[in-house]
Structure formats: structure tokens, C-alpha cells
Amino acid sequence: MEGRWLCLLLGLVCGSMAVRGQVVQIISDGGGSPEWVRLPHQPKNEKKVDEPQLECLYEYTAVDTVLRRTKLAQIILQVGQSWTKFIDYYNYWIDSVCWRSDWKISTAEILELDQPIPREFYESQLRNVAEGRFTCNGQVGLDFYIYEDSTARMDWALAEGAATVCGFACRKATTRFRGRDWTVWYTDEIPVDAGPWKLQGLPGLILRAETPDSLLRFEACSCECRRAIRTT
């Protein structure tokens, strides 16, 4: 019985958002649940909306004060000309494995592969930069959800200070967003309006973001430009 549940859970993961070096959007079936819940995964349920100019990998830590443990994850940010996407690296990895095998790899074969760190970040965001709108989807247990958010607006205060994050010279900024104070470090060496989670609105890529109580933290550990960055 345990094996059957494991196969089901892994199958649902394999049916999540496809990456494959593109910024894609999930197409809902109009029935209240995204089509990507269906098995097997069907690439027709997604559409390409942009080409990534750069990809940045973040390490995520979140302290659970109730369970008294620290959650860890790696999350990849893809930045296109007009869209950005923030997705758990485990989903990115699983999808890449399935794509390379033309979706013919078995669950048993996936389980035999070395896997990245456990998945502890369960929501992904697709952002339409021009419209300032996020399409967010995620999972709670075996339940999936999708919603749109057009209210992610941040009033940034630039602050004194400098730091080097992931090899880039960074400036400091602060804001209060969704009930939390945030301190971020952004670099104008990468002049794109993007960052981890829903944090954005600065004249450079946000490479580190943390709360003063150290309960939440994102920090870039790898950043790679895939093509020349266009800023206009």
C-alpha cells in the first residue's frame, strides 16, 4: 500500500509545471483544477510565453517555530523579457528527467536516480511583468490550487550598506510586505526587475532576501545569463 501511495505522489510531481528551458504557463481546464493534475503529463496543457534571459538558483530556509525545525529548498528563478517564473528546483529537475526521456521513464527508474534536496517550497509563481500579475499554483497534501495575485506592490526604502552575494556587488533595500519586514540585497550589475518569491520592483536582480527575525531567507547560490539581457 505504501508503495502505491509513493507512486501516486511521484506521478503527481511529474505532472507539475514543465520547465525545459522555457517560461511556460499552465492552461486550466475551466473546471476548478489545473489540467496538470491529470496523469500522464500532457505537454499540450502548457504554452510557451517567453524565453529566459537568465536563471538564478536560490537556497531557501524557513524556520518552523511550531515543529521546531528548519525547512530547506532550492528554487530556480527564470527571467524572461516580459515574464518571470519562480519554481521549486525539485519540480524543475523531475520535469527535465522526464523530458530527456521523451516522457518514457518509469517511476522506478526515477527513484533510482540521485535526487536534489527535498522539496520544501510548494508554491510556484509565474509573473506577467507588464501587467504586474502573478499566477500562482501549488499543493497542500494531495490537493492542488491555482490563483491570480495583482496586489504584490512593494514600497521600497533604499538603505546604506553594501554586500557581495553570489559574486555580485549588491545594494541594500527594505520594505514591509504581507505583514513582514524584509531586507534585501540587489545588484545593478544585473539590471532586471525580479527576485525570489513575489519580491520585485527594484532596479536590479534581488539576490538575497531575509526577515529581521531570520525565520525566512532566500539567497542566490548560482546565477547564469543564457543570452544578452535586454533592459528596454
Q: Can you give the pLDDT at residue 122?
A: 84
The tens place of each residue's pLDDT in the chain, 232 residues long, gives 434 333 333 333 333 333 444 555 544 443 443 333 333 344 545 677 888 889 999 999 999 999 999 999 999 999 999 999 999 888 788 777 777 777 777 777 877 777 666 678 888 899 999 999 999 988 888 888 999 999 999 999 999 999 999 999 999 999 999 999 999 999 999 999 999 999 999 999 999 999 999 999 999 999 988 665 554 4
Report which residue type is found at 27: I
Give pLDDT, residue 110.
77
The pTM score is 0.78
pLDDT given at position 117: 63
Instruction: Return the closest-CA partner of residue 77 out of 197, 231, 201, 202.
Output: 197
The predicted pLDDT at position 119 comes to 74
Q: What is the pLDDT of residue 19?
A: 40
Q: How far apart are CA 190 and CA 154, in angstroms?
A: 20
d(CA 75, CA 56): 8
Per-domain residue ranges for the chain? 2-149, 157-225
Dist CA 3 CA 126 (whole Å): 33
Specify the DSSP class assigned to residue 194: -
In sequence order, what E strands does the chain have? 23-26, 46-50, 54-64, 69-79, 83-88, 123-128, 133-140, 143-149, 157-165, 168-177, 180-187, 205-210, 216-225
Cα 33 from chain centre:
20
Q: How far is CA 25 from CA 43, 45, 101, 127, in A?
A: 11, 9, 22, 10
